[in-house]
Structure 1
Amino acid sequence: MSNEIIIPDEIISSKIYLIREQKVMLDRDLAELYAVETKQLKRQVRRNMERFPEDFMFELSQQEFEILRSQFGTSNWGGTRYMPMAFTEQGVAMLSTVLNSPTAIKVSIQIIRVFTKVREMLTDSLGMKLEIEEIKKKLTNHSKNIELVFNYLDELMDKKGNTEPRKKIGYK
């Protein structure tokens, strides 16, 4: 059996956040998954900044950091001197090249697969939402049509009640 690193998908997906309209993972979570210290991960990224353009990695603003910290409820961030780095799916792929360890490569592949699953789930749910909206429109139209039919029936019943009895024709 190989040295396969298996991290449950649920653990990885629970560490994906939506920040600046992008799905990202934070440096401390990635360091934990890669089994390295956060400062080592940040050091490697800073040494290779040309590999991490803004759409691969960005540092959180103070306001974003405060919002994120308040979502966790407790401050287990310790004495953070630098704002956390947020890595997009492409940034995670690039991280495996700068950390350059078998663990980093295997974990990055697994993380990217989870990012792909999350994207597929979002696409599937968007498709379902559109189908539900279409069904709602049809039901609304059907309801209007049924109401119209009942209105016509009511008018016919009213007309029938207001007319004089017809003169019988035919054999007596």
Structure 2
Amino acid sequence: MRVDELLKVAICNLKDRARAAPQVPPPSVFTEHGAIMAATLLNSPRATELSVYVVRAFVELRGMLASNRELAGKVHALERKVSVHERNIAELVDSMANLLTTPQTPPKRPIGFVHPQEKTDKPACKTISKASKKT
């Protein structure tokens, strides 16, 4: 292989590796362990004394964060329950409103024989016209 071919292969390899490697941003905060390590680098009594306070503050913050997460989880669960109940109540109110506003059906005709005198919309007996008698 020539030098220019080797360079092309090497550049392609580097590009493939760069694509495959995850892009992780550098950390922007210290943990309590990082604070202790920084204090040991300084190697002074004041630095070690302050590192103890820093570790205590980190432990307290972690406890507060954990309790807030629990509280946030409980609030979220309550919100879900309330939204479900709210939907159910809205459905009940809608169905009750439908029941209250449903028009009543007109009275049905009675089944069976109806006496001619009880009929008000039609004459009691049929009259035969003269035209029908001739046939």
Normalization by structure 1: what TM-score?
0.41
Paired position in structure 2 for 1:38: none
Bigger drift between 124-133 and 103-112 goes to 124-133
Q: Partner residue of 1:67?
A: none
Higher share of residues assigned strand: 1
Q: Which runs of 5+ in 1 are unaligned?
A: 1-18, 25-87, 166-172
Correspondence for 1:7 = none
Pair 1:112-2:55 in alignment: yes
| Cα distance in 2 between the residues matched to 1:21 and 1:92 | 14
Alignment of 1:1-150 (within 5 A): 20=26, 23-24=29-30, 88-150=31-93
Which protein, 1 or 2, shows the higher relative CO under an 8 Å CA cutoff with sep ≥ 6?
A: 1
CA distance, structure 2, for counterparts of residue 95 and residue 21 of structure 1: 15
Q: Unaligned regions of 5+ residues in structure 2, if any?
A: 1-24, 108-135
The superposition leaves residues 75-128 of structure 1 with CA deviations (integer Å, 9 ceiling, x where unpaired) of xxxxxxxxxxxxx32121123333333212211000011111122222222222
Cα RMSD of the aligned pairs, angstroms, is: 2.4
User: Contact 1:23–1:89 at 8 Å: present in 2 too?
Assistant: no
In the TM superposition, residue 158 of structure 1 has moved relative to its aligned partner by 2.7
Q: TM-score if structure 2 supplies the norm length?
A: 0.51
**What is the letter of the counterpart of residue 97 of structure 2?**
D
- AA matched with 2:104: N
Q: Give the residue type in structure 2 aligned to 1:140.
A: S
What is the alpha-carbon distance in structure 2 between the residues aligned to residue 20 and residue 118 of structure 1? Answer: 22
Q: Kindly tell me: are residues 110 and 124 of structure 1, through their superposed partners in 2, closer, same or farther at Cα, counting changes over 3 Å?
A: same
Shift of 1:137: 0.9
Which is greater in Rg?
A: 2
2:112 corresponds to 1:162: no
Count of aligned residue pairs for this structure pair:
83
More helix by share: 2
**Structure 2: distance between partners of 1:157 and 1:137:** 30
The 1-side partners of 2:26 and 2:61 are apart by: 17
Identity, in percent, stands at 28
C-alpha distance in 2, partners of 1:163/1:105?
Answer: 89
